[in-house]
Amino acid sequence: MKQSRCRLRMSVLSVGMICTSAWAADYPSEQDYFQELPVVLSASRLSQPISETPNAMTVIDRGMIVASGFRNIADLFRLVPGMYVGYDDGHTPFASYHGMTDQYARRMQVLVDGRTVYLPPVGGVDWLDIPLHLDDIERIEVIRGPAAASHGANSLQGVISIITRDAASMNGAAVSLTRGSGGISDASARLGKSGGDLDYRVTLTNRMDDGHDLQVLNDSSSTRQINLRGNYRFNMRDSIDFQFGYSDGIRGMGNSLRATEPFRDANTSSDFQQLDWLRVLQDGGEFKLNYYHISRSYMDSSALAIEKDNYRVHRHEIGLQHTMSLGASSRIVWGGAARYDTIASTMLFKAPQSLQLFQIFAHDELRVAPSLLVNFGAMFEDDGMGNRNLSPRASLNYHVTPEHTLRAGASVAYRSPVMFEQKSNTSYTVSRSFRSVGALRPERVFSREIGYLGEFREMNFSLDARIYQDQVRGYIFLDPQPTAPLSFSFSNLYAANYQGFESTLKYHLSKQSNLIFNYAHQRASCAVTGSMTMPKFAPTLQGYIDQCPLSVPSDSGSVLLTGQLTPNLQFSAGYYHQGKVQVLDAQWPQALMRRLDMRAAYAFGRQSRPGGGEIALVVQNAFQDNYTEYSNVTQKAGFISNRRAYLTATLEF
Amino acid sequence: MFRQLTILLLTSAVALLSTLVQAETLHVRLDLSDSTPPYQQFSAALDKALIENNADVTLIESQAGAKPQSGNDAQIDLVIAVGVRATELAITDLNAPLLSVMTPRASYEMLRKTSQRSAKAVSVIYLDQPWGRQLSFIQAALPNHSTVGVLYSPNIPIVLPRLPQGMSLNAKSVSSAKTLFATLENILNSSDVLLVIPDSEIYSSSNVRNILLASYREKVPLIGISQAYVNAGALCAIFSTPEQLAGQVAKAIISFSSSRQLPEPQYPASFSIGINQQVARSLGIEMASPDAIRKRMKETEEGEK
């Protein structure tokens, strides 16, 4: 009886031909139910929901990357509340969080698939040189605030963790061409295959532009890259992920206002190889063993160059990580790593340098009650320069209701001196020499925060807000030495205090239309805490310290609007606002920046299928708002960032 | 002493009498498609259930395709074929009534069409969950997920249900392996959940991996058909275990032993709910406990009556 009623409620949508094919499995068998499956979404693949992370976190996902219209990775950080993005010249962007930066932003850890790309000799990241195409980024997780307990030294201000698209994410081929003003000329080809035991994707890229539209600077660049990611599965539990990348670039150098910097080309190259072996354990835990090598070289060896700057850096790291569950309420992650860095640079160090770093860490995510999550952990690190640091972190996430969460956290983190600060011994003939005296202590931050996360589902918006206080002591700064002629070393010279408020509001207009609004209010104060080797320079230092409150823009923010106008037409707009800011090593403050970028994209054919594709137009600084970039030169030359437009056509095969 | 002897005699007499009345021991041949764990679990659970019920049944276990021991055939009263392969072989053997179990409905119906057996001589306990139950499960577990995406191969017969109010179905056929990922992307863009159906062409173990990754990327949860799917990364699944099916088969055998009638073809009576809490948390989905979901399903069912 029951059965017949059930049949009445059904309608036959499709009854296909009963197949005559010899393949027996043309109709379902119980094997479809009982087949064993590999654990795909294991602990390390799952991102933690923002309401359960121990730190404040901003996630820049693919949708935002596309909607922003940006051509390079560093610009994306304009979408993070409190983050500063500057350009030393057209090919040297840098990103920092909570001010106190210079063009070698070195107080954030930067990872690509767990591999640090923050380089030891001078610190900082050469964003253009990372062999990674924007289209290959799955998402970027930006931890706002120190996270040394899980990410090690150099995550003093925060962590940028770039997660690239899985080896299986591409099936087919696509080519893309971009042309635009400012000499923008990009091309890329992507190819991938997935479905068997082996998945892979390969991307080839060529990027070129003329840099800033500024005659006094030679800052054009061209970069060729290849990036490959593959994944091979031995069995249900074990898989190996292998990655390889190579980048080769030409960077225009030179400044017509400085006699020591004639126009010329420098060569850069960087490559990496990475192997991750992942074993998924019976209890849902996992074990990961990884090795990677990165290398980067910079050669400014043209006959015209007066100081023939050059270096070649290598990093090898081997690490392991074990994630395990202790009952249903506790998840423990522990592991360790050993790293070996070398640098050869006749200009910066005279003799080749190397250092070995070791770290071990453990943290526990403990669900005390369904509504209360406690995270605590620590990392112990030997930075290879005589410093052993313990960086602890504790945080508490309380779900007042499932939609409303309060978070409170405290942590300590260190930044180890970079090799150049500790060991510089330059061979410059014209520029000022650096002779490090050494004996630097790591910079240390003590950070506290209270955050709130709210999901207002009925009103279609979510809010993420926090207030924080970061106290940094032992900031490393230039310390002139009484040699003849005068040279520079570095010392721990001052302390700083940062306080502020950050918020992100996301409003879902519809399934494919969103509005993201970021706002940060920041305050900074500094005090001299060390003494200079040459007291006569104390007033110079005091001069910098007096500028400290300006080292963060008091108000900054961004708005990103994405809308699907018709099934084929997508429109997005990004508005970026940044108050007046004095970057530490700039001679003049950077005036208020207001900028509107727009993107419109028309999709044709069927997406991700042969013949499908897209044409996209991006206009940056659409209203030609006057603003300058960070660099000393650009401001002295009265440089105004101009409107830029570029058109990208993509075709799938 | 004498009293005790009397009682013993009396009980023996009663036992003897009841055996005579109930007829002889039922001889059941259990045909397993395979000797892998699901079939072994089924066999062990059936044994246990029959013993617990004091059923007077002799189980003769055999592997499908293995030559039957000669002479035994005449004594077989009932054949239980576990799985498609065993059913396919047993259905042509017209000697004894056949109860197929752990067989997906689509396969059973296809085998049935080609067989000469009368409706009374064959029946089935399906492996699939009825559509109504699956949809009611989705409604109970994920109240805000009303568009259900389904991928299917065009050469596999699929009977799609009429939907409860407030739900819509987004079914797309995958014509070839090449277009799987484009179709998948398309369906993920336009659905709130992706419901797995038994289709080995689409859900092969290497495809499942990529389907899971894509659905996680698009934040569209996957609803699986087994605990293995839940372990692999599906948000949840509703399914019946070999043990649960064995319990239902034991009841059917016991009832057959007295009535000599096979039950009507039926869906599994009891089912399990699996939830991957880690995936739920990561997707920001609040999942009720399996018991609470079961309760909600029951309430909806009663409400409809």
Cα dihedral across residues B209, B210, B216, B220: positive or negative: negative
User: Cis bond leading into B104, ω under 30°?
Assistant: no
Q: Which residue has the tokens 């709210």?
A: A454
Secondary structure of residue A586 in the 3-state scheme: coil
Please report which confidence band the pLDDT of residue B72 belongs to, taking 50, 70 and 90 as the band edges. low
Would you say residue B161 has pLDDT above 60? yes
Is the CB of B127 less than 8 angstroms away from the CB of A138?
no
* Predicted local distance difference test score (pLDDT) of residue A144: 93
Q: Minimal CA–CA distance to A110: which of A55, A156, A72?
A: A156
Is the CB of A18 less than 8 angstroms away from the CB of B266?
no
Would you say residue A126 has pLDDT above 60? yes
* Predicted local distance difference test score (pLDDT) of residue A22: 30
Cβ contacts of residue B35 below 8 Å, gap of 6+?
B63
* Predicted local distance difference test score (pLDDT) of residue B6: 54
Q: Beta strands of chain B (E only): which ranges?
A: 26-32, 57-63, 78-82, 98-103, 122-126, 147-152, 158-161, 168-173, 193-195, 222-224, 236-239, 272-275
CA distances from B224 to A51, A285, B286 (A): 26, 21, 18
Percent of chain A with pLDDT over 90: 60
More confident residue, A18 or A303: A303
Over chain B, what is the mean pLDDT?
86
Please report which confidence band the pLDDT of residue A14 belongs to, taking 50, 70 and 90 as the band edges. very low
DSSP A236-294: SSEEEEEEEEEEEEEEEE-BTT-TT--SEEEEEEEEEEEEEEEEE-TTS-EEEEEEEEE
- What chain A residue is nearest to B208 in terms of C-alpha separation? A37
* Closest partner CB to A34 (pick from B179, B209, B226): B226
Residues A336-350 pLDDT 10s: 999 999 999 988 998
Secondary structure of residue B132 in the 3-state scheme: helix
In whole angstroms, what is the distance from residue A546 CA to residue A15 CA?
79
> Which of A310-319, B8-17, B51-60 has the weakest average pLDDT?
B8-17
Residues B122-144 pLDDT 10s: 999 999 999 999 999 999 999 98
Is the CB of A52 less than 8 angstroms away from the CB of B228?
no
- What chain B residue is nearest to A457 in terms of C-alpha separation? B144
Q: What is the CB neighbour count within 10 angstroms for residue A283? A: 9
In whole angstroms, what is the distance from residue A340 CA to residue A240 CA?
23
* Closest partner CB to B106 (pick from A27, A62, A284): A27
The pLDDT of A457-474, averaged and rounded, is: 94
Domain coordinates in residue numbering, chain B: 18-126+243-259, 131-239+272-304
Secondary structure of residue B69 in the 3-state scheme: coil
Q: Are strands A388-401 and A286-299 parallel, antiparallel or unpaired?
A: unpaired
In whole angstroms, what is the distance from residue A137 CA to residue B275 CA?
30
Q: Is residue A216 part of a domain?
A: yes
Is the CB of A11 less than 8 angstroms away from the CB of B152?
no
- What chain A residue is nearest to B169 in terms of C-alpha separation? A13
The total number of structural domains that make up chain A: 1
CA distances from B143 to A81, A90, A432, B287 (A): 34, 51, 68, 10
| Structural contact between residues A583 and A86, judged by C-beta atoms closer than 8 angstroms | yes
- Classify domain B131-239+272-304 by CATH architecture: 3-Layer(aba) Sandwich (3.40)
Site from B123, B131, B155 to mutate, A interface, most A CB atoms within 10 angstroms:
B155
Contact residues on chain A for B125, CB-CB shorter than 8 A: none
| Structural contact between residues A11 and B15, judged by C-beta atoms closer than 8 angstroms | no
Would you say residue A9 has pLDDT above 90? no
Secondary structure of residue B142 in the 3-state scheme: coil
Q: Is residue A442 part of a domain?
A: yes
* Predicted local distance difference test score (pLDDT) of residue A8: 26
- Nearest CA-CA distance, residue A315 and chain B, Å: 31
DSSP A214-235: -TTB---EEEEEEEEEEEEESS
- Nearest CA-CA distance, residue A194 and chain B, Å: 8
In whole angstroms, what is the distance from residue B138 CA to residue B222 CA?
11
Q: What are phi and psi of A124, to 5 degrees?
A: 80, 175
Would you say residue B283 has pLDDT above 60? yes
| Structural contact between residues B207 and B161, judged by C-beta atoms closer than 8 angstroms | no
Residues A65-119 pLDDT 10s: 999 999 999 999 999 999 998 888 889 888 888 876 677 778 889 999 999 988 7
Please report which confidence band the pLDDT of residue A636 belongs to, taking 50, 70 and 90 as the band edges. low
Equal CATH topology for B18-126+243-259 and B131-239+272-304: yes
The pLDDT of A354-369, averaged and rounded, is: 93
Q: Is residue A469 part of a domain?
A: yes
Contact residues on chain A for B130, CB-CB shorter than 8 A: 6
Please report which confidence band the pLDDT of residue B176 belongs to, taking 50, 70 and 90 as the band edges. confident
Would you say residue B200 has pLDDT above 70? yes
In whole angstroms, what is the distance from residue A652 CA to residue A172 CA?
7
Q: Is residue A16 part of a domain?
A: no
The pLDDT of A365-386, averaged and rounded, is: 92
Could you tell me if B165 lies within 8 Å of chain A, comparing CB atoms? Answer: no
How many Cα atoms within 13 Å fall on the side-chain side of residue B295? 5
| Structural contact between residues A466 and A56, judged by C-beta atoms closer than 8 angstroms | yes
> Which of A212-216, A409-413, B191-195 has the weakest average pLDDT?
A212-216
Q: What is the CATH number of the domain that holds A447?
A: 2.40.170.20
SS3 content of chain B, % helix, strand, coil (to 5): 45, 20, 35
More confident residue, B165 or B83: B83
Is the CB of A35 less than 8 angstroms away from the CB of B228?
yes
DSSP structure class, residue A626: -
More confident residue, A338 or A38: A338
DSSP B165-192: TT-EEEEEE--SGGGHHHHHHHHHHT-S
Cβ contacts of residue B230 below 8 Å, gap of 6+?
B224, B236, B237, B274, B275, B276
More confident residue, B69 or A442: A442
Please report which confidence band the pLDDT of residue B20 belongs to, taking 50, 70 and 90 as the band edges. very low
Would you say residue A39 has pLDDT above 90? no
Please report which confidence band the pLDDT of residue A3 belongs to, taking 50, 70 and 90 as the band edges. very low
Cβ contacts of residue A26 below 8 Å, gap of 6+?
A19, B155, B156
Is the CB of A46 less than 8 angstroms away from the CB of B282?
yes
- Amino acid present at B222: L
Over chain A, what is the mean pLDDT?
88
In whole angstroms, what is the distance from residue A630 CA to residue A591 CA?
9
Question: pTM for this one?
Answer: 0.86
Buried b (16+ CB within 10 A) or exposed e, A500-512: bebbbbbbeeeee
CA distances from B259 to A267, A609, B22, B255 (A): 89, 59, 10, 6
Please report which confidence band the pLDDT of residue A637 belongs to, taking 50, 70 and 90 as the band edges. low
Q: Minimal CA–CA distance to A295: which of A363, A244, A329?
A: A244
Q: Which residue has the tokens 């009682």?
A: B7
Query: Distance from CA of residue A242 to its chain's centroid?
Result: 20
Would you say residue A4 has pLDDT above 70? no
* Closest partner CB to A15 (pick from B130, B157, B161): B157
Please report which confidence band the pLDDT of residue B302 belongs to, taking 50, 70 and 90 as the band edges. confident
In whole angstroms, what is the distance from residue A626 CA to residue A101 CA?
23
Cα dihedral across residues A257, A260, A261, A262: positive or negative: positive
* Predicted local distance difference test score (pLDDT) of residue A632: 63
- Amino acid present at B158: I
Would you say residue B69 has pLDDT above 90? no
Secondary structure of residue B5 in the 3-state scheme: helix
Alpha helices in A398-537 (DSSP H): 419-423
| Residue A99 structural domain | 50-652
CATH topology classification for B18-126+243-259: Rossmann fold (3.40.50)
Element (H, E) at B46: helix B37-52
- Nearest CA-CA distance, residue B115 and chain A, Å: 15
Could you tell me if B239 lies within 8 Å of chain A, comparing CB atoms? Answer: yes
* Closest partner CB to A16 (pick from B102, B155, B212): B155
- Amino acid present at A563: G
| Structural contact between residues B100 and B89, judged by C-beta atoms closer than 8 angstroms | no
Is the CB of B104 less than 8 angstroms away from the CB of A9?
no
* Predicted local distance difference test score (pLDDT) of residue B67: 61
Buried b (16+ CB within 10 A) or exposed e, A194-219: bbeeebbbbbbbebbbbbbbbebbbb
Q: Beta strands of B106-163 (E only): which ranges?
A: 122-126, 147-152, 158-161
Residues paired with residue A514 on neighbouring β-strands, in sequence order: A508, A562
Percent of chain A with pLDDT over 70: 94
Would you say residue A569 has pLDDT above 90? yes
* Predicted local distance difference test score (pLDDT) of residue A7: 27
In whole angstroms, what is the distance from residue A81 CA to residue A502 CA?
6
* Predicted local distance difference test score (pLDDT) of residue A400: 95
The pLDDT of B83-110, averaged and rounded, is: 90
